[in-house]
Amino acid sequence: MSSIVVYCRLSRSVAVRCYSTSLEQARYAIKEHNSRINALAHVTAKGEISPTTDGPLSGWAVAIKSNLATETAPTSCASHSLAEFISPYTATAVTALERAGALVVGSANMDEFGMGSKTQYSIYGPTYNPSGSSKTSHSPGGSSGGSAAAVASGMCRIALGSDTGGSVRLPAAWCGVVGFKPSYGRISRFGLVSYGSSLDSVGILARSVSDIRSAYRAIAIPDSNDMTCMSASLRTRIDRLGRSRSWITEQKAKPLEGVRIGIPQEFWVDELSDNALRVWRDGAQKLEQLGCEIVGVSLPHIPHTLPAYYTLALAEASSNLARYDGVRFGTRHKCPDTANLANASLKYAQTRSHGLGAEVQRRILLGTYVMSAAACQHYYLPSQRIRRLVQTEFNRVFALPNALCLSKFEVKERSTAVDALLFPTSTDTAPKQNTDGDECPVSSYVNDVMTVPANLAGIPAISVPSGSCNGLPLGLQLAAQYGDDELLLQIAHHFQTA
């Protein structure tokens, strides 16, 4: 019996417990699991996979979220409006992966244009959590649920997703894998279809922090095609600041001795389940055993981040998605009535009504409203103020200064600051996947309550598997100062492997 057959028989009912180390294993897992899980919307034919090149990711199977441009598969964003769109170029992050030797095995399913928390708003149908039994179908999270499910079921070793308000970290927590959102600008957004431009980040999912770190180092490079991408000089400045912390660079008896972890009290929300609270406490004790000092911190404006996030994200989405009108981008809807419409606006409306799903239309309408003259002063501008206050509060609690704030560039006193924060990724385990369409849309927005602060502040955050309840995984989230991605990955690695 071949090793491939043994590998797949061990992983038929639940998520694969070991890494996909070859293209052959990944393709076998796709054949075995994708029909049930629906993680990949498009599978790359064997003959279309480019020969591997020597590099740190040589031979690694990788899945790409369907909103990252590739020249070999539709960049559909799981939407009818882009179902047949083939990009004329490849996203910088995907190109960097291929140069490092990775092999793209397919495009991952997602919520349409990244708008959702359960991967249920897709023209390809919903994705299901590999951790659920065959009798129950749970959500993998969203909007990068296809990427998370593909990693968890062994269809790829790593996957790329996009994280606007937790779209990488929430699926990672619910599927039992690692999900990393880097600092805003660390990874180029060139080739990523925009949802909220000031919030979007390309994220990475894998079974281990070690694999995340390898992929991150391959694709976190300056890119002149993206004006929001960190420059080489800014990266050098951040590295220099990081090396100035003596308590991090010194050799210690315990792997994380000298590191101070903050526990933000504002994340203890009413919706937090007993299981998530138990995992949070166990995680703090685990870090303490690794040598960390655990302290309480306060971020007073965290309770306001969810409404502020949805105000800002939907306002930006309303602008970004205006281009899908059937003229500039998107498939133009053709019907007898359209030919007789004299009003051009009505022609656009016909195309957008048929090309965009109900959830996308809902968010465009809300975003258009908050940017109107009557509502801007009451919603949009106060949300921008809350965002700045949240950024200031994160800068206050972290020992490493924010490299974007040029006024103060010294490391803070250890008695008043921390190196990273620890808090839950989700309030509970994955819910059932709702396919009836009778769920209140607002209820799914609450799933992002733990993840949106990192996007508003632009700081790096990573979700690490930390426990389970009734066979469904739970994750804990670590966050660090803007640009302090390497320290965050170091802490997460020790946390996962301890």
Residues labelled as active-site residues: 65, 143, 167
Q: Which of 203, 261, 187 is nearest to 451 (CA)?
A: 203
For residue 376, which phi and psi values (nearest 5 degrees)? Answer: -55, -45
Alpha carbon of residue 77 to chain centroid: 15
d(CA 205, CA 212): 7
C-beta pairs of 322-328 under 8 Å, 24+ apart in sequence: 324/79, 324/81, 324/82, 324/352, 324/355, 324/356, 325/351, 325/352, 326/351, 326/352, 326/355
Residues 6 or more apart whose Cβ sits within 8 Å of residue 239: none
For residue 72, which phi and psi values (nearest 5 degrees)? Answer: -110, -10
d(CA 67, CA 161): 8
Q: Which of 415, 281, 437, 267 is nearest to 358 (CA)?
A: 437
Lookup: tokens for 131: 């951790």
Q: Is 262 helix (H, G, I), strand (E, B) or coil?
A: strand
For residue 363, which phi and psi values (nearest 5 degrees)? Answer: -70, -35
Residues 6 or more apart whose Cβ sits within 8 Å of residue 301: 386, 389, 390, 393
Residues 6 or more apart whose Cβ sits within 8 Å of residue 475: 169, 172, 173, 174, 176, 179, 424, 425, 426, 463, 464, 465, 466
Q: Is 146 helix (H, G, I), strand (E, B) or coil?
A: helix
DSSP string, 271-307: T--HHHHHHHHHHHHHHHHTTPEEEEE--TTGGGHHH
d(CA 276, CA 492): 18
- Asked whether 301 and 383 are in contact (CB, 8 A), the reply is no
Residue whose structure tokens are 């250890």: 414
d(CA 114, CA 9): 33
